[in-house]
Structure 1
């Protein structure tokens, strides 16, 4: 890193920080332009154009399905049927199927706890704040 003989960094900051900020703004503008062009191409091709919120919602649904699939794998590894788990939980087999197909957002914590306990596990609920996590239940 460049600095003067007295150890002052001011000239480096005066030159480098504005340059970095300009490059970052250019990068963001380029991203926005690419995203806009991609949306235009999709629209021209008759394909659906999704907003950032719609894309995030789709990713959240996919994540829920993947997590739920793992629960179903645990059930199968233990040679349990959905009906057996449902009886243990006190719910219907279609409810167990719904849980295993990613409908976790609509499931209450008590229902998920019963499902996990029916498989011999223990449910933990964690609040994640990015820089800190807290076990809630």
Structure 2
């Protein structure tokens, strides 16, 4: 099921004022929200708690300063959608979505750590790495981390890691 996003006039003006980099981030978040619906959360969007409308979302754009970071969007379950600029660079937006999914996964790791009432330094000490490395993992820089470091991180929080290699429709668990 797809979701359509309706933008207020103020948000349309805001979107029109974004530079290309910020617009690519906006478009990636808009597409993710349209695809996944109101269940989508941080780091992509936040729910508006004081809104009279139940499906209002606040868009979060990483790297933007505070007054340019958010826009309000309302979701409706429908098949109609209008793009605010009429078009965008699909390859740039796809790259932003891929990066943001990595950030989203890392954000979940930080939430798990916080739920165990550990700060980054404490977790780092527990698994023999520095706070800075924990921070990098929690900011989506997992690709540069060793599998052993990620395994220790996950196990310190009570989890288990699996390494799966995918080749088309086939998947092989290798660790």
TM above 0.5, yes or no, is yes
Matching of residue 115 in structure 1 with residue 156 in structure 2:
no
- Runs of 4+ in structure 1 deviating by more than 6 angstroms, as ranges, are none
Q: Indicate the structure whose relative CO is greater, using CA pairs within 8 Å and at least 6 residues apart.
A: 2
Structure 2: gaps of 5 or more residues: 1-16, 25-87
Q: TM-score normalised to the size of structure 1?
A: 0.60
Q: CA deviation at 1:51?
A: 4.7
Gap change, CA 1:46 and 1:91, over 3 Å in 2? closer
The answer for the alignment partner of 1:79 in structure 2 is 117
Give 2:140's aligned residue: 102
62, 65, 68: which one aligns with 2:106 = 68
Corresponding residue number in structure 2 for 1:9 = none
Q: CA deviation at 1:84?
A: 1.1
Q: CA–CA distance in 1 between the matches of 2:130 and 2:18?
A: 42
Q: Which whole-Å deviations, capped at 9, do the CAs of 1:76-129 have from their partners, x for residues lacking one?
A: 111111111101121110110111111111111111111111112111111223
Q: Which residue of 1 aligns with 2:170?
A: 132
1:34-62, CA deviations, whole angstroms, 9 ceiling, x for partnerless residues? xxxxxxxxxxx884287544322211110
* CA–CA distance in structure 2, aligned partners of residues 108 and 54 of structure 1: 28
Q: Give distance in 2, aligned partners of 1:96 and 1:84.
A: 10
SS of corresponding position for 1:127: strand
The count of corresponding residues between Structure 1 and Structure 2 is: 94
Find the residue that maps to 1:133 and give its secondary structure. strand
- Over the aligned positions, Cα root-mean-square deviation in angstroms equals 2.2
- Per residue, is there more helix in 1 or in 2? 1
Q: Which has the higher strand share?
A: 2
The answer for unaligned runs of 5 or more in structure 1 is 1-44
Give the Cα separation in 1 of the matches to 2:19 and 2:133: 34
